[in-house]
Amino acid sequence: MSDLEKFYLKPDKNTLKEIIVENEWDIVVARQEGRELARQIGFNEVDQARITTALSELARNIVSYAGSGQIKMWKGESQGRFSICIIAEDNGPGIQDIKLALQDGYSTSKGLGAGLPGVKRLVDTFFIKSKAGQGCFVAIEKILRRNL
């Protein structure tokens, strides 16, 4: 299975968490739920922090640029290892130039422009699909490494 394919499969219902994201409080909820799921999967506190940071950035982008959207996350499996899979999607204005949006320091909102490139560095799989006028779909996966 390719990295991309799994995000189009049905998420594992037993661990699936779905959060509607419209405001600051929803960002907090996404972080809390993500931390709890990450902990249950077995991620250590450092990785839990990485995962909540990624969730914050994706949720904040939804609130800032699309107004509303959704975050889904579930326990995945990759090459015999457990993982956390996260999708952030919205039907907002979308991103015209994804390559530009992924550059450090690029922002259309006087932000630091560190959000998306930061998320990309924190995870093992980063997939983004967006077109101007057609919303934004971001899928990420972080794989649980065995503690040495």
Q: Tokens for 13, please give them.
A: 């219902």
Options 56, 61, 125, 130; binder of Mg ion; rule CB under 5 A: 61
Q: Could you say which of ligand ATP, Mg ion, none residue 16 binds, taking C-beta under 5 to 8 angstroms by partner kind?
A: none
Count the helices and strands in the chain (H runs, E runs).
Answer: 4, 5
Q: Could you say which of Mg ion, ligand ATP, none residue 66 binds, taking C-beta under 5 to 8 angstroms by partner kind?
A: ligand ATP
Of 99 and 146, the one with the shorter C-beta distance to Mg ion is: 99
Q: Could you say which of ligand ATP, Mg ion, none residue 62 binds, taking C-beta under 5 to 8 angstroms by partner kind?
A: ligand ATP
Half-sphere exposure of 48 (CA within 13 A, CB side): 15
Of 57 and 75, the one with the shorter C-beta distance to ligand ATP is: 57
**Roughly how many angstroms between the first and final C-alpha of the chain, as a whole number?**
27
Of 49 and 102, the one with the shorter C-beta distance to Mg ion is: 102
Residues binding ligand ATP (CB under 6 A): 57, 61-62, 65-66, 90, 92-95, 101, 106-109, 111-117, 136
CB of 41 vs ligand ATP, minimal distance in Å: 25
Length, in residues, of the chain: 148
CB of 99 vs ligand ATP, minimal distance in Å: 11
Closest CA to 142 of 93, 78, 62: 78
Of 11 and 115, the one with the shorter C-beta distance to Mg ion is: 115
Mapped to the 3 state alphabet, what secondary structure does 17-69 carry?
A: EEEEECCHHHHHHHHHHHHHHHHHHCCCHHHHHHHHHHHHHHHHHHHHHHCCE
